[in-house]
């Protein structure tokens, strides 16, 4: 179990951030994917932006973007159907074989 | 660099069988040695295998089982475009002069573990490929007004084309109503919009000009290659109404071959899902952005087999490691005039497009008679 997965299990979304160029490295890695510098774990903002949306069995799923470059698939808990660019808030995250992200519409 | 040819090909029926992977691969290799004019096992100095079966030492095992003692043998894996990645490696060995004759064989079983890229944690709990397909579809529908009916026509056309392909997984046609009524997997992806994982293998011989003339009277030349990987994570695709890796790869392949889209007579493209064919047609220049659906509809209305004559992945099935090689086999048959009922008349230049993991990686080949 990695620190990333452990933190997700505790409802904390953390990601690695480069100590040299301050870039959030997604997916998390020991090394920065821009400058190969060392990284440390940093909390990720709960604010996200909707990139794209669809639904399955009436439940909306989406790609959301955090911090300008961390894009993840997740579930939208509201019945609202926002357009790309709309603000989302990370309500809940977890880990059970795969990461799990649940958003509400801002 | 030396000229490089494809001089022989073999393929198995795509289906679901009890046959192990080795046996499938050997079944695709056997017709090559049965039909080639002058080719013995000891002429082969490279054996490359492509599969997602996590099999150790497979190229050496296949070499032993087929009576070949190659100089170079190894596997090439890149999920869905493993097959064309193998071919590109074979091209490099032959064009550099390091080898003269390469046997490239791809195969997979439907239960091989390569269907889902577990590494990609950006997919969250939405790990199955239908979810990335749904995102491409949402983006294209929003930007260009693409409809569910437009998507269905891709499936109807490709299943219809597959009826003339004796190696195809599907052996029946589906009407527009059948596709529209097939199970909704997401709001914009139905079951019949999807390619079907299945068992199958395909093989080709890649060789130098001198060797090609001994093996066949109708060599097909590999004149253009383009490959691009933008990432392994699906969410690194910035514009979801387009496929960046495909645009990069096709530009390189056209440049290397000194061809343009107007020179292409027949195409095998990677329709893992209906939306893929529409986007790829646009991104490879066969029509303007937003006109892919109309292009497909025109092909269907005129029974034009130019795009995916063997039925594509949707009609022919998708045994991952075999798919790229099977696409090459089809274009080889088309350009040698041996595609039977699927033959596109007067086909002289063909294009193969094979991609992986939500278009994070694409390979494009230009082949010429």
Domains and CATH numbers, chain B: 4-113+199-220 (3.40.47.10), 130-195+222-368 (3.40.47.10)
Q: Determine the Cα–Cα distance for residues B291 and B347; give it in Å rounded to an integer.
A: 24
Average the pLDDT over B123-133 and give the result. Answer: 96
Give the pLDDT score at B115: 72
Q: B198 an active-site residue? A: no
Distance from CA of A61 to the nearest CA of B (A): 8
Q: Is B124 left (phi over 0), alpha (psi -120 to 50) or beta?
A: left
Tell me: the pLDDT tens digits for B164-198? 999 999 999 999 999 999 999 999 999 999 999 99
Q: Count helices and strands (H / E) in chain A.
A: 1, 8
Beta strands, E only, chain B? 4-11, 46-50, 72-75, 101-108, 200-208, 220-229, 266-268, 349-356, 361-368
Q: Please report the pLDDT score of residue B116 as a whole number.
A: 79
- Is residue B241 within 8 A of residue B140, CB to CB? The reply is yes
Give the pLDDT band (50/70/90) at residue B128. very high
Q: Give the phi and the psi of residue B14 in degrees, each rounded to 5.
A: -90, 120
- Do A8 and A57 have their domain in common? no
Q: Is the pLDDT of residue A1 over 60?
A: no
Q: What pLDDT digit, counting tens, does each position of B229-245 carry?
A: 999 999 999 999 999 99
For chains A and B, count residue pairs whose Cβ atoms are closer than 8 Å: 62
Q: Say how far apart CA B129 and CA B362 lie, in whole Å.
A: 16
Same domain, A73 and A31: no
Is the pLDDT at A58 greater than 60, yes or no? Answer: yes
Co-location of A64 and A39 in the same domain: no
How far, in Å, CA of B65 to CA of B26, rounded? 8
Q: List, as ranges, residues 258-297 from B with C-beta within 8 Å of A.
A: none
pLDDT at A32 over 70: yes
Query: Which candidate, A92, A96, A88, places its Cα nearest to that of A71?
Result: A88
pLDDT above 70 covers a percentage of chain A that reads 99
A22 class by beta-carbon count within 10 Å (0-12 exposed, 13-18 middle, 19+ buried): exposed
Do A33 and A55 reside in the same domain of the chain?
no
Per the residue annotation, which of B159, B270, B318, B353 is the catalytic one?
A: B318
The verdict on A94 and A57 lying in the same domain is: yes
Q: Is B142 in the A-facing interface, judged by CB distances under 8 Å?
A: yes
Please check whether residues A29 and A52 belong to one and the same domain.
no
Q: What average pLDDT does range B50-69 have in this prediction?
A: 96
Element (H, E) at A60: strand A59-66
Tokens of A25: 């490295």
Query: So what's the ipTM on this one?
Result: 0.97
A80: closest CA of chain B, how far (Å): 15
Sort out which chain B residues have CB atoms less than 8 A from A26's CB and list them. 122, 233
- B124: nearest CB among A55, A73, A84: A73
The per-residue pLDDT for A2 is 86
State residue B203's pLDDT score. Answer: 98
Per-residue pLDDT of B41-57, as tens digits, reads 999 999 999 999 999 99
Chain B: closest CA distance from residue A19 (Å): 22
B238 has a chain A CB within 8 A of its CB: no
The reply to whether A61 and A99 lie within a common domain is yes
Question: What does the alpha-carbon distance between residue B160 and residue B102 come to, in Å, rounded to a whole number?
Answer: 34
Same domain assignment for residues A35 and A16: yes
A53 shares a domain with A35 = no
**Residue A72 and residue A93 in one domain:** yes
Residue A89's pLDDT band, with cuts at 50, 70 and 90, is: very high
| Owner of token pair 């790869």 | B249
Per-residue pLDDT at A80: 87
Regarding whether A38 and A51 lie in a shared domain, the answer is no
What single-letter DSSP state applies at residue A35? T
Q: How many structural domains is chain A composed of?
A: 2
Strand order through the sheet with B101-108: B72-75, B46-50, B101-108, B200-208, B4-11, B220-229, B361-368, B349-356, B266-268
Q: Taking the alpha carbons of B303, B7, B82, B280 in that order, is the dihedral positive or negative?
A: negative
Interface of B with A in 117-136 (CB under 8 A): 120-127, 131, 134-135
A52 CB neighbours in chain B (<8 A) are: 135, 138-139, 240
Q: Is A53–B120 a contact, with Cβ atoms under 8 angstroms apart?
A: no
Among residues B80, B194, B198, B207, the one annotated as catalytic is B80
Bridging pattern class, strands B4-11 and B220-229: antiparallel
Which of A53, A55, A74 faces B124 most closely, judged by CB atoms? A74
Across B36-40, average pLDDT: 93
Q: Are residues A99 and A54 in the same domain?
A: yes
Cα-flanking dihedrals φ and ψ of residue B32, to 5°?
A: -60, -50
With CA atoms as reference, the chain B residue closest to A96 would be B125
For the ranges A1-15, A52-66, B110-124, the one whose mean pLDDT is highest: A52-66
Q: Extract the tokens encoding B104.
A: 């490239």
User: Is the backbone peptide bond immediately before B218 cis, with ω within 30 degrees of 0?
Assistant: no
The domain containing residue A73 runs over which residues? 47-105
């Amino acid at each position: 179990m990695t620190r990333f997965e452990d933190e997700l299990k505790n409802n904390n979304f953390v990601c690695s951030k480069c100590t040299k160029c301050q870039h959030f490295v997604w997916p998390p890695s020991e090394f920065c994917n821009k400058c190969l510098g060392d990284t440390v774990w940093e909390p990720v903002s709960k604010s996200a932006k909707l990139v794209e949306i669809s639904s399955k069995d009436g439940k909306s799923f989406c790609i959301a973007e955090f911090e300008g470059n961390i894009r993840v698939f997740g579930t939208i808990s509201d019945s609202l159907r926002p357009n790309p660019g709309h603000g989302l808030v990370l309500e809940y995250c977890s880990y059970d074989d795969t990461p799990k992200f649940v958003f509400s519409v801002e | 660099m030396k000229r490089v040819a494809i001089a022989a090909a073999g393929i198995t029926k795509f289906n679901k069988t009890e046959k192990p992977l080795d046996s499938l691969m050997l079944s695709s290799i056997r017709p090559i040695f049965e039909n080639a004019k002058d080719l013995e096992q000891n002429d082969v100095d490279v054996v490359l295998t492509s599969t997602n079966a996590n099999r150790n030492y497979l190229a050496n095992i296949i070499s032993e089982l087929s009576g070949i003692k190659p100089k170079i043998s190894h596997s090439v894996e890149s999920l869905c475009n493993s097959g064309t990645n193998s071919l590109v490696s074979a091209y490099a060995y032959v064009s550099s002069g390091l080898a003269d004759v390469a046997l490239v064989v791809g195969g997979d079983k439907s239960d091989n573990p390569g269907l889902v890229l577990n590494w990609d944690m950006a997919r969250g709990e939405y790990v199955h490929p239908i979810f990335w397909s749904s995102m491409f579809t949402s983006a294209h529908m929003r930007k260009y007004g693409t409809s569910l009916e437009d998507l269905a026509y891709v499936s109807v056309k490709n299943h219809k084309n597959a009826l003339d392909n004796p190696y195809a997984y599907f052996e029946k046609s589906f009407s527009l109503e059948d596709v529209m009524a097939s199970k909704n997997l997401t709001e914009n992806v139905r079951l019949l919009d999807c390619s079907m994982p299945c068992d199958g293998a395909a093989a080709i011989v890649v060789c130098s000009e001198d060797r090609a003339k001994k093996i066949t009277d109708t060599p097909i030349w590999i004149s253009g290659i383009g490959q691009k990987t933008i990432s392994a994570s699906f969410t690194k695709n910035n514009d979801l109404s387009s496929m960046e890796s495909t645009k990069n790869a096709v530009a390189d392949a056209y440049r290397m071959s000194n061809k343009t889209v107007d020179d292409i007579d027949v195409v095998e493209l990677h329709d893992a899902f209906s939306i893929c064919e529409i986007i790829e047609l646009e991104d490879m220049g066969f029509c303007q952005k937003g006109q892919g659906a109309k292009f497909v509809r025109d092909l269907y209305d005129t029974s034009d087999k130019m795009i995916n004559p063997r039925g594509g992945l949707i009609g022919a099935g998708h045994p991952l490691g075999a798919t790229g090689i099977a696409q090459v086999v089809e274009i080889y048959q088309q350009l040698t005039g041996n595609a039977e009922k699927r033959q596109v008349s007067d086909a002289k230049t063909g294009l193969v497009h094979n991609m992986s993991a939500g278009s994070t990686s694409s390979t494009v080949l230009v082949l010429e008679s």
